[in-house]
Amino acid sequence: MNGIFSQKIFLVDNDLFSLAINLQQLNNIGCTDVHPFSDEIDFVKKLKEQPRIIFLDYRTNPQKGLKILRTVKRVQPETYVVFITGRSGVLEALYSLNYGAFEYIIKDKNYLVAKKLVLQNIEQIEQLIYKNPKNR
C-alpha cells in the first residue's frame, strides 16, 4: 500500500488537538508526506506546492470551508479535497460535494477506517487514470 499514501497531503484544521490526532492517524496508516496547517491563510499560500490530497475541516468557519474548497478547485482542480467534520449535516455534505469535494467524512468511531478507505479509493481512481492512455 504505497502509491497514494506517499503523495503530498495537506491537513487543515484550526483545532490544534484535532489536527494532531489527524496527523498521527495519517502517519499510522502509512502516509509519509503530510503537512498540517492550523491557519487557512498559511494553507492557501502553500497551495503552490501542489498537494495531491487535502483533508479540510468543514468547521474551519462553516462558510470558509466552502470558500477554501472553491479556491482549491480554481487553483488546482485535480486535487482531491476531503472534508472532515465533527457533526453530520446533509446540506453541508451536499454543498461540499456540489462544489467539488471528493468526500465528506464525519468524525465518529469509524473515522480512521473512513480515512483509509478514502485514500484507497483515490488510489484506485489514480490507477485507472494512469492506465488510460488518453489521460496521460
Q: What is the pLDDT of residues 32-41, one digit of tens each?
A: 999 999 988 8
Domain that holds residue 26: 7-111
Considering the domain boundaries, does residue 45 fall inside one?
A: yes
Residue in 84, 65, 86 with CA at minimum distance from that of residue 9: 84
Residue 97: CATH number of its domain? 3.40.50.2300
pLDDT tens by residue, 50-91: 999 999 988 766 567 888 899 999 999 999 999 998 777 787
Considering the domain boundaries, does residue 122 fall inside one?
A: no
Considering the domain boundaries, does residue 1 fall inside one?
A: no
Considering the domain boundaries, does residue 105 fall inside one?
A: yes
Q: Are 89 and 61 in contact (CB under 8 A)?
A: no
Considering the domain boundaries, does residue 128 fall inside one?
A: no
Query: Which helix H or strand E contains 134, and what residues bound it?
Result: none
Considering the domain boundaries, does residue 130 fall inside one?
A: no
Task: Encode burial over 107-116: b for 16+ CB neighbours within 10 A, e otherwise.
Answer: beeebeebbb
Say how far apart CA 18 and CA 89 lie, in whole Å: 19
State how many domains the chain has.
Answer: 1
Considering the domain boundaries, does residue 60 fall inside one?
A: yes
